[in-house]
């Protein structure tokens, strides 16, 4: 299974540092091992050259009756190998063992390998079946024969392996120490980058969509010659631009909010006067021409629609300004019953169904505004669905929250309109909305009222099912003596 690579910059830098050091240690280890092996083999070749084939030449005494049959082992190292070849055939082969000479049994492969050793005065590596790997050299004898002398390579290999073991241990400790020290050093070096990340995450968590935003201060000055310092400087400049843009936007929103509130407040009186004069003219006892009566009725209807628009705008302006709402215990079940009765009277062609719990559900808030929010949801279902549509209002409670669901089986909300359905002046059908008197502010008021109560308003829609859900904090029940059981004082000892 392939191990995953580190994803963090700190992990990657530390891993890269350790990997580079490991490669350097590997290169040093291989170089020193090869150098030591070459040096030791060179020393063996020098010993072989100094011996001059004396031990191999003494082996031919056994074949001469007039000579001393004892091979010359003086000055020969332990396990020194000697062989005599005549016409390419090995006649004698022996090895020094504890100052004595032992005959070596050679295989056919060993004999062929000995015959192939060149007489160039240089050392050559040779593997013998009974003895192992040897370093040998071949010289020409006095009787047109070939004298081969060899020394074992085992001490050289053993010394090289010992060096490799020591280097492996030292390099392992060095890599471990470097990894720990490198991780600490990288962590210290990346602290400015961590501050940049923390500041960016802090800004990302701010509610930048609306309202006045308190931007965090700039990062402390860093060395602009470093990459992290340049990043911190760029982030400070960006935060400055964002703060300036948010301040300008908030100022513009405040001006627009004040304008809407002032305009709505100032328009209420003249609109009411226009409506009153139109109604007064319609009650005139004398004959009124049909054209004039129709015009007066239109003036009354439009003034009534404008009154609702002004009231809605003034309510939204007050909610945007954070005006406090009433905070009284209320029975949400009763509000839903009243709102549904009003909707049933306004649209008897729809099927209005209720799914309410047996026990009353209480919340704390503004009864008038919550009734208005629920009524707007029912009015939205009544207005944008054809007669015969089934609208179900469900009230439920889960943990510390209360849910109000308004579900209809109408045609649904267009997909492109769904993300902005709680926006202001959003209409599914502009022409129809204006003829039916809709201001496009009903769902915006729903969202603003529920948000002011600490709740949420959501919607899901598809052809054949549209569901609005209001979530409100449930009212905490109080004990009989008026003390909240969750905040009751501790008992005292009598």
Give the mean pLDDT of 307-328: 77
Give the mean pLDDT of 154-182: 92
Q: What is the dihedral of CA 62, 68, 72, 78, to 10 degrees?
A: 60
pLDDT at 91 over 60: yes
Q: Residue 345 and residue 86: Cα distance in Å, rounded?
A: 130
Highest mean pLDDT (candidates 31-35, 229-233, 414-418):
31-35
Question: Angle at CA 418, nearest 5°, toward 311 and 246?
Answer: 70
Higher pLDDT, 437 or 156: 156
Give the mean pLDDT of 292-299: 81
Predicted confidence band at 27 (pLDDT cuts at 50, 70, 90)? very high
Q: 214-227, pLDDT tens digit by residue? A: 777 777 766 777 77
Say which DSSP state 149 is in. E
Mean pLDDT score of the chain: 81
pLDDT at 471 over 70: yes
pLDDT at 298 over 80: yes
Whether pTM > 0.75 for this model: the answer is no
pLDDT at 481 over 50: no
Burial degree of 92 (CB within 10 A; 0-12, 13-18, 19+) = buried
Q: Residue 447 and residue 449: Cα distance in Å, rounded?
A: 6
Predicted confidence band at 474 (pLDDT cuts at 50, 70, 90)? confident
Q: 231-269, pLDDT tens digit by residue? A: 878 878 888 888 788 788 777 767 766 766 666 666 767
- Work out the end-to-end distance of the chain between its first and last CA atoms, rounded to an integer number of angstroms: 70
Q: 96-134, pLDDT tens digit by residue? A: 887 788 888 899 999 999 999 998 878 899 999 889 999
Q: 336-380, pLDDT tens digit by residue? A: 999 999 999 999 999 999 999 988 888 999 999 899 999 999 999
Instruction: Report pLDDT for 477.
Output: 61
pLDDT at 64 over 70: no
Q: Are 58 and 71 in contact (CB under 8 A)?
A: yes
Instruction: Report pLDDT for 312.
Output: 74
Sole residue written with tokens 């669905």 = 385
- What stretch of H or E contains 265? helix 227-282
Give the mean pLDDT of 438-459: 87
Lowest mean pLDDT across 1-5, 157-161, 244-248, 346-350:
1-5
Instruction: Report pLDDT for 10.
Output: 80
Predicted confidence band at 420 (pLDDT cuts at 50, 70, 90)? confident
Beta-bridge partner residues of 471: 403, 456
Predicted confidence band at 484 (pLDDT cuts at 50, 70, 90)? very low
- Reported residue count of the chain is 494
Predicted confidence band at 398 (pLDDT cuts at 50, 70, 90)? confident
Instruction: Report pLDDT for 237.
Output: 82
Burial string for 288-320 (b: 16+ CB within 10 Å, else e) reads: eeeeeeeebeebbeebebbbebbbbbbbbbbbb
Give the domains, in start order, of the chain with CATH numbers: 52-153 (3.30.450), 205-323 (1.10.287.130), 328-473 (3.30.565.10)
Sole residue written with tokens 């280890």 = 29
Q: Residue 148 and residue 118: Cα distance in Å, rounded?
A: 10
Highest mean pLDDT (candidates 22-36, 230-244, 260-274, 416-430):
22-36
Q: Residue 157 and residue 31: Cα distance in Å, rounded?
A: 15
Question: Angle at CA 114, nearest 5°, toward 112 and 118?
Answer: 110
């Amino acid at each position: 299974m392939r191990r995953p690579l580190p994803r963090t910059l700190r992990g990657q830098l530390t891993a890269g540092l350790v990997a580079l050091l490991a490669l350097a240690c590997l290169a040093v280890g291989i170089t020193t091992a090869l150098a030591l092996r070459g040096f030791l083999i060179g020393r063996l070749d020098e010993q072989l050259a100094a011996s001059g084939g004396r031990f191999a030449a003494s082996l031919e005494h056994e074949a001469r009756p007039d000579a001393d049959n004892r091979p010359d082992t003086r000055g020969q190292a332990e396990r020194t190998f000697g062989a005599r070849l005549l016409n390419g055939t090995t006649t004698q082969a022996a090895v020094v063992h504890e100052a004595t000479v032992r005959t070596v049994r050679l295989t056919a492969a060993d004999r062929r390998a000995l015959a192939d050793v060149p007489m160039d005065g240089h050392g050559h590596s040779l593997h013998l079946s009974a003895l192992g790997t040897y370093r040998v050299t071949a010289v020409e004898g006095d009787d047109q024969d070939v004298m081969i002398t060899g020394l074992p390579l085992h001490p050289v290999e053993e010394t090289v392996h010992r060096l490799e073991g020591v280097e492996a241990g030292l390099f392992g400790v060095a890599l471990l120490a470097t990894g720990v020290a490198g991780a600490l050093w990288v962590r210290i070096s990346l602290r400015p980058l961590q501050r940049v990340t923390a500041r960016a995450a802090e800004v990302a968590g701010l509610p930048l969509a609306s309202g006045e935003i308190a931007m965090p201060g700039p990062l402390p000055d860093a060395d602009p010659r470093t990459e992290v310092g340049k990043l911190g400087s760029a982030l400070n400049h960006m935060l400055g631009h964002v703060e300036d843009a948010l301040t300008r936007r908030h100022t513009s929103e405040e001006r627009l909010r004040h304008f809407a509130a002032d305009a709505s407040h100032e328009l209420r009186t003249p609109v009411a006067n226009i409506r009153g004069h139109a109604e007064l003219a319609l009650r005139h006892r004398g004959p009124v021409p049909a054209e004039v009566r129709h015009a007066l009725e239109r003036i009354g209807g439009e003034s009534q629609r404008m009154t609702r628009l002004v009231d809605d705008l003034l309510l939204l302006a007050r909610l945007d300004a954070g005006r406090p709402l009433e905070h009284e215990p209320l029975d949400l079940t009763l509000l839903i019953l009243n709102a549904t009765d009003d909707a049933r009277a306004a649209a008897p062609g729809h099927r209005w169904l209720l799914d309410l719990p047996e026990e009353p559900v209480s919340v704390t808030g503004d009864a008038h505004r919550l009734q208005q929010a629920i009524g707007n949801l029912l009015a939205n279902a009544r207005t944008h669905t054809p007669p015969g549509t089934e609208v179900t209002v469900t009230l439920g409670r889960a943990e510390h929250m209360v849910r109000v669901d308004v579900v209809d089986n109408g045609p649904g909300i267009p997909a492109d309109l769904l993300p902005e359905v709680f926006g202001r002046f959003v209409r599914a059908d502009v022409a129809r909305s204006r003829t039916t008197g809709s201001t496009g502010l009903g769902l915006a008021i729903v969202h603003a009222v529920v948000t002011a109560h600490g709740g949420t308003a959501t919607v899901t829609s598809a052809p054949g099912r549209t569901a609005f859900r209001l979530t409100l904090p449930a009212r905490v029940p109080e004990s009989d003596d008026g003390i909240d059981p969750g905040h009751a004082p501790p008992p005292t000892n009598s």
